[in-house]
């Protein structure tokens, strides 16, 4: 079979995945004449989770398209907001994204998190089994076939990570409804119900409580509350949503 040469141009958003020589304009790529365009793009280092439309000489083509000699291919980033059909939006975060996991839970976004390194195959399988969007900064993980859906986390800073994920997926925000430790849903609780989980000072000082229905952890207005309020307020403002009625305060 012949080995057609095509030209591939990546959008600036995808430049970080490709070798320096392939950034900033169409660059020649020799294909095998049989592989799909999706495969060609992936083999150049770009996880398909980050790829939106593919255009050949200005015409949109599916990932299964087999490029032929002389094609000029434009690779665009995934469109935002990104809708993933087939299940309610929920996430699975790898071991390196603990802070992001807690912030998403603080905002009421269904977020599973592996606090130990269970390995790429197990993570990908969990994504498939539970239909969760895997968030990771590990490109190799995002190439795995078993993944149900995935997304690369572009920043190393939790503030930027949160902004990026909220901008990309626009999840419904329900602040103060989830346990930041285990992702369980919170219920209102009385001081008596959570008394055995409180320290003496806490019991005296505060009387608005909630409790995780999964792990039993008690929540109350604590020392970090202002910081958490700020995270919630920022997220709601950036999502351009009206601020919900004041909710009972919770501990982190
Ligand atoms: Zn919990």
Condensed to tens digits (0 to 9), the pLDDT of residues 116-157 reads: 899 999 999 999 999 999 999 999 999 999 999 999 999 999
Condensed to tens digits (0 to 9), the pLDDT of residues 209-237 reads: 899 999 999 988 765 688 899 999 999 99
Q: How far is the CA of 217 from the centre of ligand 1 (A)?
A: 6
The range of the structural domain enclosing residue 160 comes to 91-238
Q: How far is the CA of 147 from the centre of ligand 1 (A)?
A: 26
With respect to residue 250, please indicate whether it lies within any of the assigned structural domains: no
Q: How far is the CA of 99 from the centre of ligand 1 (A)?
A: 16
47, 77, 107 — which closes off a domain? Answer: 77
21, 46, 77 — which closes off a domain? Answer: 77
Name the residues around ion ligand 1, CB cutoff 5 A.
179, 181-182, 184, 212, 214-215, 217
With respect to residue 112, please indicate whether it lies within any of the assigned structural domains: yes
Q: Does 178 lie in the same domain as 95?
A: yes
Q: How far is the CA of 202 from the centre of ligand 1 (A)?
A: 19
Q: How far is the CA of 189 from the centre of ligand 1 (A)?
A: 14
Q: Does 138 lie in the same domain as 42?
A: no
Q: Does 43 lie in the same domain as 158?
A: no
With respect to residue 56, please indicate whether it lies within any of the assigned structural domains: yes
Q: How far is the CA of 141 from the centre of ligand 1 (A)?
A: 27
Tell whether the model's pLDDT for residue 244 goes beyond 60.
no
Instruction: Calculate what percentage of the chain has a pLDDT beyond 70.
Output: 90
Q: How far is the CA of 118 from the centre of ligand 1 (A)?
A: 21
Per-residue 3-state assignment (H helix, E strand, C coil) for the chain? CCCCEEEEEECHHHHHHCCHHHCCCCEEEECCCCCCHHHHHHHCCCCHHHEEEEEECCEEECCCCCCCCCCEEEEEECCCCCCCCCCCCCEEECCCCHHHHHHHHHCCCCEEECCCCCCHHHHHHHHHHHCCEEEECCHHHHCCCCCCEEEECCCCCHHHHHHHHHHHHCCCCCCCCECCCCCCEEEEECHHHHHHHCCHHHHHHCCCEEEECCCCCEEECCCCHHHHHHHHHHHHHHCCCCCCCCCCCCCC
Q: Note the pLDDT of residue 197.
A: 80
| Mean pLDDT within 49-56 | 97
Q: How far is the CA of 95 from the centre of ligand 1 (A)?
A: 18
With respect to residue 245, please indicate whether it lies within any of the assigned structural domains: no
25, 48, 77 — which closes off a domain? Answer: 77
Q: Does 123 lie in the same domain as 208?
A: yes
Q: Does 201 lie in the same domain as 170?
A: yes
């Amino acid at each position: 079979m012949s080995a057609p040469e095509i030209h591939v141009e990546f959008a600036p958003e995808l430049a970080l995945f490709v070798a320096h020589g392939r950034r900033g304009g169409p660059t020649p790529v020799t294909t095998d004449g049989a592989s799909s365009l999706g495969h060609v793009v992936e083999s150049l280092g770009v996880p398909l989770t980050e790829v939106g439309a593919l255009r050949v000489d200005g015409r949109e083509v599916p990932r299964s398209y087999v490029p032929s000699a002389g094609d000029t291919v434009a690779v665009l980033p995934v469109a935002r907001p990104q809708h993933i059909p087939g299940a309610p939006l929920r996430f699975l975060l790898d071991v390196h994204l603990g802070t992001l996991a807690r912030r998403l839970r603080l905002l009421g976004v269904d977020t599973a998190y592996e606090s130990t390194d269970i390995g790429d195959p197990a993570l990908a399988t969990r994504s498939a089994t539970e239909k969760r969007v895997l968030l990771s900064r590990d490109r190799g993980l995002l190439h795995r076939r078993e993944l149900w859906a995935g997304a690369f986390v572009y920043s190393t800073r939790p503030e930027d990570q949160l902004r990026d994920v909220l901008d990309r997926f626009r999840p419904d925000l329900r602040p103060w409804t989830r346990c930041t430790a285990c992702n369980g849903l919170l219920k209102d609780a009385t001081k008596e119900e959570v008394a055995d989980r409180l320290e003496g000072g806490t019991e005296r000082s505060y009387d608005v409580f909630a409790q995780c229905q999964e792990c039993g952890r008690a929540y109350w207005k604590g020392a970090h509350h202002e910081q958490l309020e700020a995270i919630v307020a920022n997220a709601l403002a950036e999502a351009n949503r009206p601020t919900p009625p004041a909710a009972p305060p919770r501990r982190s």
